[in-house]
Amino acid sequence: MLEAEVEDAENLAMAHWPIPVDLFVSEKHPSLPRGLLAFADSSGNILFRLNSLSHHPKKTLRILDSAGNPLISIYRHHDGSWQGFKGDDGQKDLIFQVQRVSNKFARTELEVFLVAENHRGELTCDFKVKGCHFQRSCTIYNGDSIVAQVDQSHAQASADLC
């Protein structure tokens, strides 16, 4: 079921954005409450917001849609791994897991595993994220193909997820 949802989401994204889309990160958007980070399109329309729940026992981030509805809740564990769950229902519907593979002085590498409802056994890496915190840049790979990039010349702010 979740695999179908992920595939539907990918197809929906391709239908809406068949060409690369630039997203701009901002902490100072006029309609943004203090403490939130926004991702806006080139027209300045907020598409996603990111907020941190500091009152939660685990470090928790929520990705919200433009109306403020929770899309994904992300929990950080003590070992540095992350888990992403659908919506704001706590830890019921696991969507993905992230594991730090390498954390050298200037480079970080993460592996992202999408989780299917009926999955049994070992997970296989679906995406790799390679980045440099100092340059505020990262590249996301699906196999050998680049699916997303962030670089300092386009970054207005950063969210320290690593």
The DSSP line for 144-156 is TEEEEEE-TTT-S
Domain for residue 161, yes or no? no
* Region 146-155 average pLDDT: 71
The domain in which residue 44 lies consists of 2-150
pLDDT band at 26 (very low <50, low <70, confident <90, very high): confident
Average model confidence (pLDDT) across the chain: 75
Domain for residue 74, yes or no? yes
Residue type for position 162: C
Question: How far is 21 from 162, CA to CA, in rounded Å?
Answer: 23
Global pTM reads 0.69
Domain for residue 142, yes or no? yes
Domain count, the chain: 1
pLDDT band at 77 (very low <50, low <70, confident <90, very high): confident
Instruction: Please give the share of the chain, as a percent, with pLDDT higher than 90.
Output: 17
* Region 75-86 average pLDDT: 89
Query: Tell me, what CATH number does 20's domain have?
Result: 2.40.160.200
Question: What pLDDT is attached to residue 104?
Answer: 75
Domain for residue 86, yes or no? yes
Residue 128: which of 145, 146, 111 has the closest Cα? 111
